[in-house]
Structure 1
Amino acid sequence: MRPPVKLLIIAATIAVFSLGGGEAWAEPVTHRADAATSYLDVLDLHGAPQTPTDRSFNIFFDAGSWHGYSLPVAGDPATGFSGPFVHSLGDGQWAGARFAQLALRDTSSKQSISLNPTDSHAAPGYLVRQFSGPGLTVRQTLFFADSWHALVRIELTATTLQDVDLSVAGRVMPEQQAGLVKDGDTVAQTFANSSSKLTTRLHADGAPAYRIMLAGADYRIALEHSLHLKPKQTVTVWVEQTLVYDVHADKPTPADLATAWTQNRARWDNYLKSVTASHLAGLPDATTRRVSVKAMLTLLGNWRAARGNLHHDGVIPSYSNPDFNGFWSWDSWKHAAALARFAPELARDQMRAMFDYQAADGMVPDCVYLDKAANNWRDTKPPLAVWATLEIYRATGDKAFLAEMYDKLARYHRWWFTARDHDHDGLAEYGSTDGSKVAARWESGMDNGVRFDAISMLRNGEGAWSMDQASVDLNAYLYKEKLDLAQVAAILGKTRDQAQWLNEAAAMKTAIQQRMFDKARGYFFDIKLGSGDPVRVYGSEGWTALWAGVATPDQARSVIRIMLDPNKFATFMPFPTLAADDPHFSPIKGYWRGPVWIDQAYFGVEALRHYGYDRQADQMARRLVLNAKGLAQQAPMYENYDPLTGRGYQSPNFSWAAASYLLLVHESTNEHDVP
C-alpha cells in the first residue's frame, strides 16, 4: 500500500545578503525569550544517519515539510546539522549527511578559526547550535519558513574588529555521491533512476561572487569577499534549502528572509498559547503542559503539505516507520480532533485530505498517498469523522466548515448501512470490498483483535462484504454519529434532518442495549449474525458503548466494575486492548491483543467521565501519564505500550498517541457549544 518513488526535486540555496563593501547584513543581537525556550529538548533530536534509510533517531520537521533535519550527535564538534531526510523520496531516505557546515578563516593570516560548540538545543519550531572562537561567537538556527523552505540563520558576533573568509559545506550520503556535479553557478545533486535534483547556490551582493569545490561526497561554496566584523555587531548569513516534489507542477514562492523568522515565531507562539488549557487533577501543570507540547511536536513533526495526489495538508501516522508514508482515515479523525485545539486550519485540511477521495457511494478509503495508485480501497476505517468535525466546530465556531462537510459526512454514514449491514437489522458489521478477512480486520482498526479470530465473510453485493458478526464499537460509533449529525443539522438549520437523525439514534440505542450487552457477564460484546450469540472477548471495544453514551446507567456500572478490575483492565498502565486475564493476552508483541493504545485508553477515561466517575477517570488518566515510561522526560510517544511496565513499543513519534494524550490532558473550553 505504499507508493513508488515519485519525481522529486530538492533545491538548496545558500544565500548571503550583503550591504556592500564586503559587509554582510548587520543587525543587533535580539534573541528574545519566548514561550519556546520554556520547552527546550522535550524530544531528543540528536542523531547522524549511518545509512540512507536510518530511522534510529528523531528528526525535526515543521510547517508541512517533506524534508527534515537533526542536531548532530552529542560531542560532535563540527558546525551544521544532520540532513536532510527526504520523506517523499521512496519511503523516505537521507539525501544528505551534513548541511550548513560553516568554516571561517582569518583573512590576513589565512589561518582557520577554530569554533568550539557551547550549546545545542531543540526548541518548539527550531534547532539551535552555538559556538565560540577567538573574539567571536556563532549561532546557527535552523527553522522552516514554510513547507518548502528550510532556513539556517548563521549569526556571527565579534568582540574585536576582524575580517574573515566564510564558506559553507555539505555532504551527501556516500551512496549518492555519483550524482553530485557542478552545474554552472550551482552544485547539483541528482539521484539514480529518478528525476530528483538537489541544487545549492550562494549569493553575495546580488551577483555571483563565490567559488564551488567538489570532492567525492562533499561540496563547499566559499564567498569571494571577506566579511568585515565589527565589535558588538551581528552579521547574518542565511542558508536556504528548498524541497520541490515535482519540478513540472510545483512552483514555490521564494522565502522572504526578512520576515521568515518573525512569522515562524508568531506561528509557534500561537500554538503554545493553548498549553495553558492543559490540566489534570493531581498532576502539576508543568507536567501536563510538557506532555501537551510533546504532543504538538509529534503531530506537527508528522505534518505533510499537499503534494502529488495529496490535495490537502494532513498528518501521517509516524515518520519513524517507512510503512506510514500517507494519510489514514481513522488516524486522521483523531489527529483533527486534537489539532482543532491549536492548529484548526490543519485540522480542517486533515479532514479534507481524506474526503477528497470519497467515492460516489459515500465510502472513504482506508489510506491515501502521494501516488493515488497506492490508495487502499479494500476497506475503510471506523467512523469517527463526524465527531472530529464537531470538535473542530467546538474549537472554532466555524459554521461554514460544518456546511462544507455535512453532506459528505451524511453520505459516509449512510454507506455503512448500505454496504455493511448484511441482515438489514440496523446494526452494521466491519467488512471489506474484496471479501478478504485481512482487509475486514483492517477495517476495524484492530487488525489482529482476538474477537476476530473465528470470523467468516458474507457477501452483501458487488464490492461489499461483511464479517459474520456485528461489532459493538462500530455500532457505538455509528450511534454517536447519528447524535452528532443531528447536532450539525441543528446548527445548520436543517430541522427535518435533525429529527430524522435523532429518531434513528433512538432506535439504534435500544438495539445496542438489548442485543449487545451480556447481562450474565456484565459487558458489551460483538454478536454473531443469525444466532445473536455474544463473542465473549473482554476488549476495549466494550467501553466504547459508554464513551458514546449508549449504555444504561446499570449497564455502565457493570462495565465500569470490570474496567476498574486490576486483573483485567486497571493495570499498571491502564486500559489494555485485551483483558490481562485473557489466555491470549500478549502485552508486548500482541499489537491489538494486549498492549495499551492511547486512543482506546482515552476513550476509556472519557467513558468513566460520561457516567459520573470523575475521580476514577482522573486516577486512570494520571496513570496513563505517569506510568508511560519516559513520557514526562524525553521519550517519544509510541504506537502502543506494555500495560504491565509502561514501556513503549512499535512506532515512536506516533501521531494518534500524541492526539490522544493532548485530548487527555487538555481541558475543553467548549467555546462554541452545540445544541
Structure 2
Amino acid sequence: MTIRKLWTYSMLALMVISCNKKEKQQNTPPNFKYLNYSKNVLNYSGEPKTKNDRSSLVFSDQGAWFGYSLKNTSSRELAHSGPFLMTQENGVWLSPALTRLHLSQNGKPISAVTSSIKEGEKYSLASHLQQEFTSNDFLIKQQLVFLNEKTALHKTRVKNNSNQNQTIEYWLDGSLFKNDMELTYNRNLITITSNKSSAIGYIKLPKEMTSLIIKDTFNYETNKIQFTLPPNTEKEITFSHSFLFPSQTWKTEDKLIKKSEFDSVLKARKKIKNTELSSIFNNLNPQIHHEASPTIISKAHLTLQNNWRTPAGELKHAGLFPSYHYEWFHGFWSWDSWKHAVGLSFYNIDLAKDQIRAMYDYQQDNGFIIDCIYRDTLIEKHNTRDTKPPLSAWAVMNIYKKDKDLLFIKEMYPKILKYHNWWYKDRDFDGDGLCEYGSTDGSLVAAKWESGMDNAIRFDNSKLLQKNETTYSLNQESVDLNAYLYAEKIYLSEMAKLIKRSNEANKLKKDAHSIKLRIQEQFFDKHDGWFYDTSIDGSKFIKGEGSEGWTALWAKVASDEQAETVIKKMLDPTKFYTKVPFQTMSADHAKFDPLNGYWRGPNWLDQAYFGVKGLRNYGYHSEANAATLKILNGAEGLLKKGPSIRENYHPITGQGLHAKNFSWSAAHIMMLLTNEIY
C-alpha cells in the first residue's frame, strides 16, 4: 500500500470516528498540544532599571508596537514589567511597571498577612503571559493577552480558598521612567503623551476607580476598593493598556475593549497559536528527528511573533523587524524581508505576502528596491544608498507553493521582473551579462552593504567604478549575486508560465541557461575546487573561501563535478565542518576572526541553510541531515528553553553573537527542519 493510499484510508477512518463521536467532542476541552510546546521557550523574566535597559526579552503579539516582560522569579509583585515601547525613539521602556495591583487585609499586604503564601508559577506561552500565587487562603492568577495590535488586556482573579469570608482591599498604581512622557487623567482613563512620539497611550482602569491621584506627571495611584469574598468564590479585576497612532481613535478602540470578554479573547489566541504551530510541525522533515524539535520550532515561531509589526507611519504593510532587541533594527530590510516571508509562509500566508509588499511599496520607477524602510523617518531615514541580493522571487514562489494563489503571482511578477531587469541596467558596468554589487551614492561602504555581507574579505581591496551620477559598481563580479540572478530567472520563468506569459517564460529560461554556463566558466577555480568572485573582466579570482562559494549549489547552477569538489571542502572539519558548520569563511584562513569580524567567520544561519540546501540539491541528503543536526546542537542555547535565537554564532565554540531575537535566524531554522522545496 502506498503512503498516499494509507494516508487517505486513515483520514476516512478518522472522519467516521469523528462523526460517531461528534456529541462527545462538543464537551471535550480543546487540545492545545502544539501551543504547550511554547511554554517558557523564551525567558521573559526581567525588570528594567532604566528606560534603555535591554537586559530582558519582551513578549508581544498581533503586530503590536509594544510588549512586556514577566517580573523576576523571586518577585511577588502583581504586575508585568513594561511596556517596552517601539513607538518611542528606537525602543525604550515606558515604565518598570505601568500598572501594579495591590491587595491588602486590615491595612497589611496579603503576602505579609498570610505568611504561608508561596510562589505559584510564572510562565509564557505564544498566546499570553501568566503568573499565579497560592496560599492556604488565596489563589491569585494574573494574565496578559493582546486583544489586537493596539491593546493588551490584563486580568487578575483573586479566589478565596478558605472556608470563611475574606474582606480584601485593592488599588492600582504605576510610574513612568522620566523619558519625555507624562500622565493626565479623566475619571478612570489615564492618557500618556510624549514630545518625542505622536503615539498616545491609554490606561483604562476598572469602572469603580474614578478617583485618581496623579502624584506628579510620572506617578499615579487610584482610590482603594473593598470587597468581600465568600468561600470558594473569586473576584476579577481587569484593565487595559492601549497605544494608538494618530490615524487610530481612542473612541473606536474603547468600544472594542468594552465589547471584548477576556476569556474569549484568550481562548481565541490560544486556538490561533496552536493552529500556527501545528502548521509548522506538520511540515517537519521526518528524516531529521530531534527530541528538541518542539522547543526550537516553538522558539523560532515566537521570535518571529515578537518581531512582527503592523502597518504604521511610513510602513504601509505589516512585516518583521530583524530584531526589536537591537535599537538599530527597528525597520524592514529587503534581504531580511524575503527570508522572513519564507519562514512566515509555513503558518501565516497573509503576513508573508505583506512582508513582500512592504518593500515593494517603495519600488522606484526604474525598478530599484531600497535597502531598508522605517516607520518614522524623523528617527531614522530610509536607506536608498543600496539594495540587497535579489531573493524576492524565491520568497514569492515559496509562498505560492503553500496556497497556490495566482492573484499574488500576477500582482508580484511584473514588479519583480522590473527589479530583476534593473540589475542588468544599473549593475552590469561592462555590459557582459554578469552583475556587480554597487551603490547609488558613490560610497564604497554602501556597495559592500548591497551584498548583505558587509565586511567579507572578498571586498577588502574593492574599488568603485562610476557609470553615471547615481550608478556605481564594484570593480568585481560576484558569484553569489549572479547565482541569485540565475535562480531568479528560473523562478520568474515559472511565474510567467503560471500566468500564461509563455514567451517571457521561454526567454527567461533561455537566459538562465546562458548565465549558468557563464557562472560555471568564470567563477569556478578548477585548481582550488571553489567558486570565487572575480575581477570585473573575469581574468582574476579574488581568493578566500567563503560561504558565497556554495551559493552556486543552492541555486543549482554548478555542474555535478564542481559541486562535488565544493562539498568536499564544506565537509572538511578544518574548513567549514566546524562545531556550527557552514560559517561565512573557512576556519583555516588567516583572516578568520569570528569574535571581531561580522562576516569574517561567524555562522549566519541563512548562509548555513544555503549550504545545507546546496547539499540536498546534489543528492547529499544524509550529509545534509547530519549537518542540520550539527548546526542545531552546536549553536549555543538553540535547543534549550530560555535563551533567545541570536544573529549569528561562533563556529568553533558555538557562542551566540550580536543581536538577540533575530528573525532571519528563526526563519532559516524553520527551513532547515521542514520540507521547504526551493
Match of 2:466 in 1: 459
CA contact (8 A) 1:420 1:464 kept: yes
Q: Deviations over 1:304-331 (max 9, x none)?
A: 1100110011000011110001000000
Aligned equivalents of 2:610, 2:650: Cα separation in 1: 18
From 309, 317, 325, the counterpart of 2:314: 309
Which residue identity is paired with 1:348? K
Taking only aligned residues, the RMSD between alpha carbons, in angstroms, comes to 2.2
Aligned equivalents of 1:221, 1:284: Cα separation in 2: 54
Give 5+ residue unaligned stretches, structure 2.
1-28, 112-116
**Aligned positions of 1:161-560 closer than 5 A:** 161-175=165-179, 179-183=182-186, 185-192=188-195, 195-204=198-207, 210-215=210-215, 217-222=218-223, 224=225, 226-246=226-246, 253=253, 254-255=256-257, 256-258=259-261, 259-277=264-282, 279=284, 284-372=289-377, 374-560=381-567
Match of 2:17 in 1: none
Of 258-267 and 159-168, more deviation after overlay is shown by 159-168
Q: Deviations over 1:116-172 (max 9, x none)?
A: 531101111211000125522111111111111111121222234444333222221
From 638, 642, 652, the counterpart of 1:644: 652
Match of 2:94 in 1: 95
User: Per the alignment, do residues 175 and 340 of structure 1 end up closer, same or farther by CA in structure 2, a change over 3 Å counting?
Assistant: closer
Aligned equivalents of 1:401, 1:118: Cα separation in 2: 49
Q: Deviations over 1:634-657 (max 9, x none)?
A: 221111111101111010111111
Aligned equivalents of 2:196, 2:593: Cα separation in 1: 43
User: Per the alignment, do residues 632 and 231 of structure 1 end up closer, same or farther by CA in structure 2, a change over 3 Å counting?
Assistant: same
Shift of 1:281: 6.5
User: Per the alignment, do residues 371 and 182 of structure 1 end up closer, same or farther by CA in structure 2, a change over 3 Å counting?
Assistant: closer
Aligned equivalents of 2:249, 2:237: Cα separation in 1: 30
CA contact (8 A) 2:187 2:212 kept: no
Shift of 1:284: 4.3
Q: Secondary structure at the residue paired with 2:327?
A: coil
User: Per the alignment, do residues 42 and 416 of structure 1 end up closer, same or farther by CA in structure 2, a change over 3 Å counting?
Assistant: same
Shift of 1:195: 4.9
Of 97-106 and 403-412, more deviation after overlay is shown by 97-106
Aligned equivalents of 2:347, 2:248: Cα separation in 1: 34
Match of 2:65 in 1: 66
Shift of 1:461: 2.5
Higher relative contact order (CA 8 A, sep 6+): 1
Match of 1:24 in 2: none
Q: Secondary structure at the residue paired with 1:392?
A: helix
Match of 1:8 in 2: none
Which residue identity is paired with 2:205? L
Shift of 1:471: 0.3
Shift of 1:215: 3.3
Shift of 1:496: 1.3
From 648, 651, 668, the counterpart of 1:660: 668
Q: Deviations over 1:258-281 (max 9, x none)?
A: 242232122212111124236467
Of all paired residues, the percent bearing the same amino acid is 37
Structure ranking higher in helix proportion: 2
Match of 1:603 in 2: 610
User: Per the alignment, do residues 489 and 43 of structure 1 end up closer, same or farther by CA in structure 2, a change over 3 Å counting?
Assistant: same
Of 38-47 and 367-376, more deviation after overlay is shown by 367-376
Which residue identity is paired with 1:442? W
Shift of 1:427: 0.7
How many residue pairs match? The answer is 634
CA contact (8 A) 1:549 1:610 kept: yes
User: Per the alignment, do residues 156 and 35 of structure 1 end up closer, same or farther by CA in structure 2, a change over 3 Å counting?
Assistant: farther
Aligned equivalents of 1:170, 1:358: Cα separation in 2: 45
Shift of 1:111: 4.8
Q: Secondary structure at the residue paired with 1:345?
A: helix
Aligned equivalents of 1:117, 1:83: Cα separation in 2: 21
Aligned equivalents of 1:455, 1:379: Cα separation in 2: 16
Of 646-655 and 235-244, more deviation after overlay is shown by 235-244
User: Per the alignment, do residues 278 and 394 of structure 1 end up closer, same or farther by CA in structure 2, a change over 3 Å counting?
Assistant: closer
Q: Secondary structure at the residue paired with 1:507?
A: helix
Aligned equivalents of 1:430, 1:552: Cα separation in 2: 25
CA contact (8 A) 2:288 2:673 kept: no
CA contact (8 A) 1:148 1:242 kept: yes
Match of 1:113 in 2: 110
Match of 1:86 in 2: 85
Aligned equivalents of 2:223, 2:144: Cα separation in 1: 20
User: Per the alignment, do residues 188 and 624 of structure 1 end up closer, same or farther by CA in structure 2, a change over 3 Å counting?
Assistant: same
CA contact (8 A) 1:244 1:252 kept: no
Of 67-76 and 237-246, more deviation after overlay is shown by 237-246
CA contact (8 A) 1:48 1:72 kept: yes
Match of 2:43 in 1: 44
CA contact (8 A) 2:65 2:87 kept: yes
Q: Secondary structure at the residue paired with 2:657?
A: strand
Which residue identity is paired with 1:301? N
